[in-house]
Amino acid sequence: MNTVVAQLQRQFQDYIVSLYQQGFLDNQFTELRNLQDEGTPDFVSEVVSLFFDDCAKLINNMSRSLEQPENVDFKQVDSGVHQLKGSSSSVGARRVKNVCISFKECCDVHNREGCLRCLQQVDYEYKMLKTKLEDLFKLEQRILQAGGTIPQVDIK
Amino acid sequence: MAEVIRPEKLDISNDTSSLASPELLHVLAVDDSIVDRKFIERLLRVSSCRVTLVDSATRALQYLGLDGENGSVGFEDLKINLIMTDYSMPGMTGYELLKKIKESSAFREIPVVIMSSENIIPRIDRCLEEGAEDFLLKPVKLADVKRLRDSLMKADERAFKNIMHKRELEANDIYSQLKRAKI
């Protein structure tokens, strides 16, 4: 039984470290994990869930604003990017945040094509992160069910 | 001869109740982002604060009863010790909210902290000039929240001590007068 837990914990450790190394997550995600305790075991998953819902909503709105080439509401798009950048920053979604930086630049110069590319990229990135974190949370559940504790991971 | 009441027996009521239960610093947090609201709520709870969350400056004013509509809860019942607001919000900004609060006789003493994801010096200056207690860059750190809480507690403690000292002086004064009058 012991070794099963140890194995799972190792798996978890390796997986989360790889997410940081590949740039999916940054320090802010660590901050979120540190705010979670036994009394609030779902805090991180709840925050990221809200984040992903937010992404879907904002991307949908921006997509509509960018739809008609002659009639792009860049103010709306800019507002959406700003919100997306803010919330991705708050959860430590590093790749999503970085796309937002480029996205804002395209928006500032009213580059519709550039905006559409960024929109596609940001959509891809948030969905990718969502899948990765779902896998991470599943691993957590497996550790807990096996009677283990979730390791505190120190990311250098 | 009537008994002279010594100063230390005077009933000094404790009306600075915020010190009686130090864990219940009540913070009003204003942010249009649901993610950020969830995050700041956690930071504040971890720092032993009571939190009220609203999603706009308008709602904040409604909560405080400053929106011109009558029939809100009285100030004493609300007992907000700190307002933390996002700067960029649709409709009314955090800066405009700050101004409205500082214009209000009932609420201008409440410290207001502005939070922003953008490190724009003129913006920070403007907020501080308008009377903001502090300006925090997002994402807000737990250390920032704890620092705020500690400095508010100290300010409360100082205010409380000042009140106690003043009353002690007044009580001593009365005592001396009574003694002199040989009552």
pLDDT, position B60: 96
Residues of B in contact with A89 (CB under 8 A): 117, 138-139
B8 domain-assigned: no
Is A86 close to B138, i.e. CB distance below 8 A? yes
Q: What pLDDT score does B71 carry?
A: 46
Check residues A45 and B178 and name the one with the higher pLDDT: A45
Whole-number mean pLDDT of chain B? 85
CA–CA dist A77, B102 (Å, integer)? 33
Let me know if residue B90 belongs to a domain: yes
Do B42 and A40 count as a contact with CB atoms less than 8 A apart?
Answer: yes
Structure-block tokens of residue A71: 């009639």
Q: Determine the average pLDDT of the residues in B125-152.
A: 96
Overall domain count for chain B = 1
pLDDT in the model for residue B82: 96
**Structural domain range at position B102:** 26-154
Assess whether pLDDT exceeds 60 at residue B16.
Answer: no
Higher pLDDT, B161 or B40: B40
- Residue B143 in any domain: the answer is yes
Residue ranges of domains in chain A, CATH in brackets? 3-146 (1.20.120.160)
Query: Nearest Cα to A93, choosing from A130, A45, A134?
Result: A130
Comparing CB atoms, the residue among A43, A54, A82 nearest residue B35 is A54
Mean pLDDT to the nearest integer, B162-177: 88
Say whether residue A47 is in contact with chain B using an 8 A CB cutoff. yes
Band (B174; pLDDT cuts 50, 70, 90): confident
- In contact, B13 and B29? CB cutoff 8 Å: no
Q: Is residue B180 part of a domain?
A: no
How much is the pLDDT for B116?
A: 97
| Partner-chain residue, chosen from B43, B88, B141, that has the shortest CB–CB distance to A82 | B88
B33, B138, B139 member nearest A83 (Cβ): B33
Q: What is the pLDDT of residue B2?
A: 52
Low-confidence spans in chain A with pLDDT less than 70? 1-2, 156
In sequence order, the β-bridge partners of residue B86 are: B115
Interface test with B, best of A37, A83, A126 (most B CBs within 10 A): A83
Q: For chain A, how big is the Rg over CA atoms in Å?
A: 18
Q: DSSP code of B56?
A: S
In the sheet that B82-86 helps form, which strands lie side by side, from edge to edge? Answer: B49-54, B25-30, B82-86, B112-116, B134-137
Judge whether B16 lies within some domain.
no
pLDDT in tens, B20-63: 454 579 999 999 999 999 999 999 999 999 999 999 999 999 99
Per-residue model confidence (pLDDT) at position B15: 42
Q: Are B39 and A89 inside 8 Å of each other by CB?
A: no
CATH code, B38: 3.40.50.2300
Residue B129 pLDDT greater than 80, yes or no: yes
Average pLDDT over residues B62-72: 74
Q: Per the CB < 8 Å rule, is A89 touching B138?
A: yes
Q: Which long-range contacts (CB under 8 A, 24 or more apart) does A22-25 make?
A: A23/A94, A23/A95, A23/A98, A24/A93, A24/A94, A24/A95, A24/A128, A24/A129, A24/A132, A25/A92, A25/A93, A25/A94, A25/A129
Q: For residue B36, which residues of chain A lie inside 8 Å, CB to CB? A: 86-87, 90
Instruction: Please name every residue paired with B137 in a beta bridge, in sequence order, or none if there are none.
Output: B116
Task: Please indicate, yes or no, if residue B172 is contained in any of the structural domains.
Answer: no
Check residue B179 and give its pLDDT.
87
Task: Give the three-class secondary structure for B83.
Answer: strand
Which residues on A lie below 8 Å from B142 (Cβ)?
31, 34-35
In b/e form, how buried is each residue of A66-78, taking b as 16+ CB within 10 angstroms? beeeeebbbeebb
Residue B4 has pLDDT above 80, yes or no: no
Residue B153 is predicted with a pLDDT of: 85
Burial class (CB in 10 A: 0-12, 13-18, 19+), B49: buried
Q: Give the bridge partners for B25, in sequence order.
A: B49
Residue B98 has pLDDT above 90, yes or no: yes
User: B121 CA to chain A: closest CA distance, Å?
Assistant: 19
Burial class of residue B86 (count of CB atoms within 10 Å of its CB; 0-12, 13-18, 19+): buried
Whether residues B117 and A86 touch (CB distance < 8 A) is answered with yes
Per the CB < 8 A criterion, the answer to whether A123 and A115 are in contact is no
Residue B49 lies in a domain: yes
What SS3 state is found at B87? coil
Q: Nearest chain B residue to A36 by CA: give it.
A: B42
Please list every residue in chain B whose beta carbon sits closer than 8 Å to the beta carbon of residue A31.
Answer: 139, 141-142
Q: Please, are residues B83 and B111 in contact by the beta-carbon 8 Å criterion?
A: yes
Share of chain B above pLDDT 90, in %: 60
SS3 B7: helix
For residue B42, the chain A residues in CB contact (below 8 A) are 35, 40, 43, 47
Tell me which chain B residues have a C-beta less than 8 angstroms from the C-beta of A47: 35, 38-39, 42
Q: Does A135 touch chain B (CB under 8 A)?
A: no
Domain annotation covers residue B67? yes
